[in-house]
Structure 1
Amino acid sequence: MSQVQTTHSGPALVQEGPIKTFLRATEIDTRMLGMLGALLLIWLGFHFYGYFANGNGAFLTYRNLWNLSVQTSSITVMATGMVLVIVTRNIDLSVGSMLGVTAMMMGVLQVWILPNILGIGHPSIWILTVIFGLIAGTLIGTFQGYLIAFLEIPSFIVTLGGLLIWRGAAWWVARGETIAPIDANFALIGGGPYGSVGATWSWVVAVIACIGIVALLVNGRAQRARFGFPMRPLWAEYFIGVVSAAIVLAATFTMNNYFWPKGIVKEYAAAHNLDPATLVNIGHGWAVPVLIALFVVMAMTFVTTRTKFGRYVFAMGGNPEAAELAGINTRRMTMLIFSLMGFLVGISACISSARLKASTVALGQFDELYVIAAAVIGGTSLAGGSGTIYGALIGALVMQSLYSGMVLVGFDAAIQNMVVGAVLVLAVYIDTIYRRHAK
């Protein structure tokens, strides 16, 4: 395909390669392609390394991929909020400690307080605990946002102090005790055989997602036509729809093919007076924390791309002075962003403590590093003004894949930290080069 370009000396013919034509027509972000390519290389690298080193490639298995999705959920939820924080040229170093203290307070509430008031196993215990956790996280985030926005203390200092304060508070809440066992219904938020929706409902979710993809493409095309924006070629629309639906179906197939362990099957059969022999290959399906994380990603994508709040966030990140002169209340926006970050930390605290089935002082330790790394690797610029929610999701997958892969192949903790640090530095360097060439 060729493109005519007019110059002062007359029309000139500029050849456009097939790859450039494809990317222009589909409007696919090249950075996203790079991240997906890196993710695929990590998966293949760890799988074949394990195969040649131990004779067992354990990474690309249904079990490991299912576990990987669950392990990534908590980081993904917080990374979506960290995107907004970094876009506005701030940072939040306290999210791991906030998660820890919120989880400890939820543990005290559901194990020591509510059972004495409502009775052990009361069905509303988990609901009250979740609501309390979300409120607690939001209040902590709002408090830090107030210090940053209205008292004009740099976010680095406020959240560095928060990292130490909230970690100490997590110990103080229960004097360092591990709080367990948590409410059985609350534990389902963390996944596991019972904390998954099963194969049938997973296919229902997949079908709904595919219908949603088609609806978004049709609506997007209609909006472009309505406002006179350039239209993508039909073949590009079909390509995006088919590939997106294929990813959803392939992921659902993977989730459904991780079957319940035999011990869980026997336990379930005994509890329901069934013959274990009749319960064969019960698929986990999508885990509850994964569905929560995906819902948060979709909601945050809508907020950042379809609301006034999202436009204000990126306007502030691009030029804070111009945004304020344009009438945006930047102080109020900053506090709201940190409030939202706290709310998302509350969700992650529910997922993490439910997955562990306990609340411990160490919960969330170093999570701030993984969350910031996920956002940066996902394309969020530390210079502010640019970043995507889906990029944070891919960045979280990259970080968790690196960590899980190194654990599987037997790398010690020192090597793991070195690799994660090197990847973070490399991601910032790539972002610097990308921004330099984009100018």
Structure 2
Amino acid sequence: MSDTSHASVTAQPRRNIFQMLELDTRLLGMIGAFVLLCIGFDLLTDGRFLTPRNIFNLTIQTVSVAIMATGMVFVIVTRHIDLSVGALLATCSAIMAMTQTLVLPKWLGLGLDHSLTPWITILIGLTAGTIIGAFHGWLVGYLTIPAFIVTLGGLLVWRNVAWYLTSGQTIGPLDSTFIRFGGINGTLGTTLSWVVGGLAVVAALWGLASSRRNKISHDFPVKPLWAEFTMAGIIASAILGFIWTLNSYNIPTRRLQRMFEARGEVMPEGFTAAYGLPISVFLLIAVAIAMTVLAKRTRLGRYIFATGGNPDAAELSGINTRMLTLKVFALMGFLCALSAVVASARLTNHSNDIGTLDELRVIAAAVIGGTALAGGMGTIYGAILGALIMQSLQSGMAMVGVDAPFQNIVVGAVLVVAVWIDIVYRKRTGDTT
């Protein structure tokens, strides 16, 4: 009996190499679509799309939406929706802009370049976003008002609160340390970027090894060693290739000269330097890791997916679904505030239209990334990849010369097609979650 069972276990993977590598076919499809998209735009732009410069810009443009998309996964998984994320981002951005340009100088005498200014500003912004998100969650969870209505009202309320906070004016300049979180004005440099890349590879390999040990200790089947080494090679190559690409984008000579002049120095002849990993991208990586751990390794994460799968059963099993809803929306508010830091820092100011239509981009990123609108299913990495696909699509069309209205038409069509493909995929795989 044991020989027969062993034979069946070893025979099944041979029929499908993806099963041997334990790869998510949906993720592979998304990666394949992304690769084809990049190659297509690179051909249409005569090789300009896949240059280090454009990849660098593409990553920092994706960060703000991607951070919020990780939170939207939890919201949609619990069978809710949040239409207010773009407006909430604008309110948090306005609060932080007014804090560092008006409140701190007037009340505490802290100027824009004071060492405490950016950190107090960010703390206030994150606190405001979390409180507003928790308020939304309280309305949905405890007053049982549909999330669609609560957040639709929030979209109108917070967008105009942001306008009144700043009287509709653009607020700037912002603190020099604060704007480093935007990406272009704050990078790790080549050396530190390689260090971060190396640590990421070590962490990924440790994670693979730890997962294998856990499976063995619980007598679960494991992949062949060649498959483990293949996955390790793919992951390491992707991480180090990404760092190499970013390190290949050199800072323009004129910008370097201004940097030396600001320090009262003269730039040596022939001096060059690269940007490296943007701080905003590093922040996104940290958020992705934290949210993944929260989803897979914590009680809160298990409760979120259990509630999304069957709310009634979750409540009968003792899960406080009302408090869970409040926590999920509070987390969404926190991530909106964090995205406000990145977005306003990238622009180096707060503008009245910041975050406009971000709610649609965030929802689309989560859905394209495989989050089921029916609840109960979604991944953090899928949402980030969905945000990257959307940004690549828009950036590529802009480089080709497609008009903005038609860009939105294409993005809307892609969203509908992505949901349809997801429905077909679930029917064929028998997954109706």
Out of 345, 351, 375, the position equivalent to 2:342 is: 351
Report the Cα distance in structure 1 between the residues aligned to 2:272 and 2:78, rounded to whole angstroms: 48
Q: Which residue is equivalent to 1:26?
A: 21
Query: Could you tell me how far 1:15 is from its partner in structure 2?
Result: 8.0
Are the equivalent residues in 1 in contact too, given 2:13–2:20 (CA < 8 A)?
no
Query: Residues 13, 313 of structure 1: CA spacing in aligned structure 2 closer, same or farther, 3 A cutoff?
Result: closer
1:409-436: CA deviation from partner (whole Å, max 9, x where unpaired): 1111111110010011011101111221
Report the Cα distance in structure 1 between the residues aligned to 2:420 and 2:58, rounded to whole angstroms: 27
Query: Residues 15, 221 of structure 1: CA spacing in aligned structure 2 closer, same or farther, 3 A cutoff?
Result: closer
Q: Which residue is equivalent to 1:248?
A: 239
Out of 414, 417, 424, the position equivalent to 1:423 is: 414
Are the equivalent residues in 2 in contact too, given 1:375–1:395 (CA < 8 A)?
yes
What RMSD in Å do the two structures reach over aligned CA positions?
1.9
Report the Cα distance in structure 1 between the residues aligned to 2:160 and 2:262, rounded to whole angstroms: 42
User: 1:168-187 alignment to 2 at 5 Å?
Assistant: 168-187=160-179
User: Helix, strand or coil for the counterpart of 1:333?
Assistant: helix
Query: Could you tell me how far 1:373 is from its partner in structure 2?
Result: 0.6
Report the Cα distance in structure 2 between the residues aligned to 1:305 and 1:15, rounded to whole angstroms: 30
- 1:111 maps onto 2:79 in alignment: no
Query: Residues 14, 348 of structure 1: CA spacing in aligned structure 2 closer, same or farther, 3 A cutoff?
Result: closer
Q: Which residue is equivalent to 2:383?
A: 392
Query: Could you tell me how far 1:59 is from its partner in structure 2?
Result: 0.5
TM-score (norm. length: structure 2)? 0.95
Out of 305, 313, 316, the position equivalent to 1:314 is: 305
Query: Could you tell me how far 1:13 is from its partner in structure 2?
Result: 13
User: 1:32-181 alignment to 2 at 5 Å?
Assistant: 32-51=27-46, 57-116=47-106, 117-120=108-111, 121-181=113-173
Query: Could you tell me how far 1:16 is from its partner in structure 2?
Result: 6.2
Query: Could you tell me how far 1:273 is from its partner in structure 2?
Result: 4.5
Report the Cα distance in structure 2 between the residues aligned to 1:347 and 1:357, rounded to whole angstroms: 15
| Corresponding pairs, count | 426
Which residue identity lines up with residue 169 of structure 2 in the other structure?
E
Query: Could you tell me how far 1:281 is from its partner in structure 2?
Result: 2.8
User: 1:189-338 alignment to 2 at 5 Å?
Assistant: 189-192=181-184, 194-278=185-269, 280-338=271-329
Report the Cα distance in structure 1 between the residues aligned to 2:10 and 2:190, rounded to whole angstroms: 52
Unaligned runs of 5+ in 2: none
Query: Residues 15, 203 of structure 1: CA spacing in aligned structure 2 closer, same or farther, 3 A cutoff?
Result: closer
Query: Could you tell me how far 1:133 is from its partner in structure 2?
Result: 0.8
Are the equivalent residues in 2 in contact too, given 1:4–1:14 (CA < 8 A)?
no
Report the Cα distance in structure 2 between the residues aligned to 1:207 and 1:13, rounded to whole angstroms: 36
Are the equivalent residues in 2 in contact too, given 1:115–1:122 (CA < 8 A)?
no
1:160-181: CA deviation from partner (whole Å, max 9, x where unpaired): 1111111111111111011010
Report the Cα distance in structure 1 between the residues aligned to 2:263 and 2:340, rounded to whole angstroms: 32
Are the equivalent residues in 2 in contact too, given 1:213–1:244 (CA < 8 A)?
yes
Are the equivalent residues in 2 in contact too, given 1:265–1:279 (CA < 8 A)?
no
Query: Could you tell me how far 1:268 is from its partner in structure 2?
Result: 1.7
Are the equivalent residues in 2 in contact too, given 1:402–1:420 (CA < 8 A)?
yes
Task: Give 4+ residue runs of structure 1 displaced > 6 Å after superposition.
Answer: 3-6, 11-17
Query: Could you tell me how far 1:14 is from its partner in structure 2?
Result: 12
Query: Could you tell me how far 1:221 is from its partner in structure 2?
Result: 1.1
Query: Could you tell me how far 1:276 is from its partner in structure 2?
Result: 2.5
Report the Cα distance in structure 2 between the residues aligned to 1:69 and 1:305, rounded to whole angstroms: 26
Report the Cα distance in structure 2 between the residues aligned to 1:349 and 1:170, rounded to whole angstroms: 12
Which residue identity lines up with residue 185 of structure 1 in the other structure?
T
Q: Which residue is equivalent to 2:374?
A: 383
User: Helix, strand or coil for the counterpart of 1:339?
Assistant: helix
Report the Cα distance in structure 2 between the residues aligned to 1:128 and 1:273, rounded to whole angstroms: 30
Are the equivalent residues in 1 in contact too, given 2:110–2:117 (CA < 8 A)?
no
- 1:433 maps onto 2:424 in alignment: yes
Report the Cα distance in structure 1 between the residues aligned to 2:203 and 2:161, rounded to whole angstroms: 43
Report the Cα distance in structure 2 between the residues aligned to 1:378 and 1:114, rounded to whole angstroms: 41
% identical aligned pairs:
46
Q: Which residue is equivalent to 1:54?
A: none
User: Helix, strand or coil for the counterpart of 2:16?
Assistant: helix
Query: Could you tell me how far 1:278 is from its partner in structure 2?
Result: 4.2
User: Helix, strand or coil for the counterpart of 1:77?
Assistant: helix
TM-score (norm. length: structure 1)? 0.94
User: Helix, strand or coil for the counterpart of 1:184?
Assistant: coil
Query: Could you tell me how far 1:222 is from its partner in structure 2?
Result: 1.2
Which residue identity lines up with residue 60 of structure 1 in the other structure?
L
Query: Residues 406, 330 of structure 1: CA spacing in aligned structure 2 closer, same or farther, 3 A cutoff?
Result: same
User: Helix, strand or coil for the counterpart of 1:195?
Assistant: coil
1:84-128: CA deviation from partner (whole Å, max 9, x where unpaired): 001111100100000001101110010111123233221100000
Query: Could you tell me how far 1:12 is from its partner in structure 2?
Result: 10
